[in-house]
Amino acid sequence: MASVSPPDPAGRRPLRLAPFRGLRFAAETVGSLSSVISPPYDVLDADTVRSLEQANRHNIVRLILSRRYERPYVAVRERLEAWRDQSYLRADDEPALYVYEYTAEQMTVRGLIGAVALREEEERVILPHEDVMPEPVDDRTVLMRTTRTNLEPILLVHEGSAELRTLVDGAVAGEPVADFVALDGSAHRLWAVTDPAFHGEVAAEIAGSQALIADGHHRYAAYLALQHHLRGEQTPPRSRRGTSGWPCWSTRTTRPCGSGRSTARWPR
């Protein structure tokens, strides 16, 4: 779960991406990592869901599509707890910023995954570009509140500096914690960077920047609604767009070697 960011009394709150302990699939228990990932919940049709469930009974789709079950949110929470107890999912030992790389169709996107601090829309730090519908926002809010887990990331686009690109590129020199090819042929790699110096350098580089929500507006609005709930504040109108989450943060696109969003659920 994202922590609740207290208001800055001066009203100046920078863009902030913090390390966190990721909860990831363990390859030695789930088998092929390519069989447990899924596209975002809101683009799945019935045939795709059926195919994903047949590929692996621990596919993440069984957590992100909560309304398919009786007592749906409780059912997801119980399944999530069981998967953790059975070591299909494991939390990393140390907080990390994760470098994620996605390759498809002769292109590569490389970026950061972390806990982005919640920001109000009027602060103009994280910028939405779509309106949202109340039903999906309510669904994601209740799911997160019940499971106390953020089950899938949002995607932010950020115009990274040359220094930030150098930091990210340097982080991929070591061995990735996940490296696999998905069923659609796309390649996915993930590095967990636990070095506090790296975290501090990233924080300094992005502090004065803005980010655009590329995918995940309803989840983003749900994060804001949950923050207001945790603070005991009145939830903003349902039509408002929200401000936070666990983003896949794109800082660089290179050729040759996908453009497009990540569909992986950060496996172990």
Is 110 a residue whose pLDDT tops 70?
yes
Cα–Cα distance for residue pair 267/88, rounded to 1 Å = 10
Is 45 within a domain? no
Is 115 within a domain? yes
Q: Which of 121-125, 153-157, 187-191, 218-222 has the highest mean pLDDT?
A: 187-191
The average confidence (pLDDT) of the chain is 82
pLDDT class for 252, splitting at 50, 70, 90? very low
The parent domain of residue 121 ranges over 90-254
pLDDT class for 191, splitting at 50, 70, 90? very high
The closest of 171, 149, 157, 158 to 91, measured between CA atoms, is: 149
Give the rounded percent of residues in the chain with a pLDDT score beyond 70.
80
Number of domains making up the chain = 1
Cα–Cα distance for residue pair 150/191, rounded to 1 Å = 19
Is 210 within a domain? yes
Is 262 within a domain? no
Is 250 within a domain? yes
**Across 100-127, average pLDDT:** 90
Write down the pTM of the prediction. Answer: 0.81
Is 211 within a domain? yes
pLDDT class for 199, splitting at 50, 70, 90? very high
